[in-house]
Amino acid sequence: MKNTLLFFFILSTCILYGQKNNTLLNYSFEEAFKLQEKEKKPIIVFFHTSWCKYCFAMKKNTFIDKKVINLLNKHFYFVSFDAESKDSINIKGRIFKNKSGVHQIVEVLASKNNTISYPSTIIISTNNTIDEQIDSFLSAEEITKILTSYIALK
């Protein structure tokens, strides 16, 4: 009986551990910036909307890829954010809100030539500067190449 219980305990631990490694860690802005104070890692922000079919495709294809998940979990803090969210965000005492349908944080981080496209993937350095703004769909292969190149440069 003890051996049976021990077997099931070990099996359940292995299953839980395996699931954890295949889950993309997703932080809020506040959590990511707070964690960055303790361990310097760049922040990847994925801006999306509920109506964007390319955003949906990235969620369902790109961000479930094991290689992408491993790269993001190991080397970055990942923030997935609905650009039309009504939530206020407090980053180091600065408050960002939704004004007229688009969140201020999106305007600050994802605006290129005064336009915002979805999906947008932003890389924020450990110094809190924008290193990359990618305003298009990224496949798992494309984002893996981008992330791997970024890691190699740092």
| Model pLDDT, residue 137 | 98
Do residues 126 and 41 make contact, with C-beta atoms less than 8 angstroms apart? yes
| Model pLDDT, residue 11 | 43
Give Cα separations from 50 to 60, 96, 110, 115 (angstroms). Answer: 13, 20, 17, 19
Q: Is 9 helix (H, G, I), strand (E, B) or coil?
A: helix
Question: How confident is the model over 41-56, as a mean pLDDT?
Answer: 97
| Model pLDDT, residue 14 | 45
Question: How confident is the model over 59-87, as a mean pLDDT?
Answer: 97
> What is the tens place of the pLDDT at every residue in 74-119?
999 999 999 999 999 999 899 999 988 889 999 999 999 889 999 9
| Model pLDDT, residue 5 | 40
Question: How confident is the model over 58-62, as a mean pLDDT?
Answer: 97
pTM to 2 decimals?
Answer: 0.84
Whose CA is closest to 28, among 73, 76, 75, 81? 81
**Model confidence at 71: pLDDT above 50:** yes
Q: How confident is the model at residue 143 (pLDDT cuts 50, 70, 90)?
A: very high
CA angle 145, 84, 105 (to 5 degrees): 65
Cα separation, 98 vs 140, whole angstroms:
30
> What is the tens place of the pLDDT at every residue in 120-140?
999 999 999 999 999 999 999
Cα atoms in the 13 Å half-sphere on the side-chain side of 153: 10
> What is the tens place of the pLDDT at every residue in 12-38?
444 444 445 689 999 999 999 999 999
Question: How confident is the model over 37-43, as a mean pLDDT?
Answer: 96
**Model confidence at 3: pLDDT above 70:** no
Cα atoms in the 13 Å half-sphere on the side-chain side of 19: 6
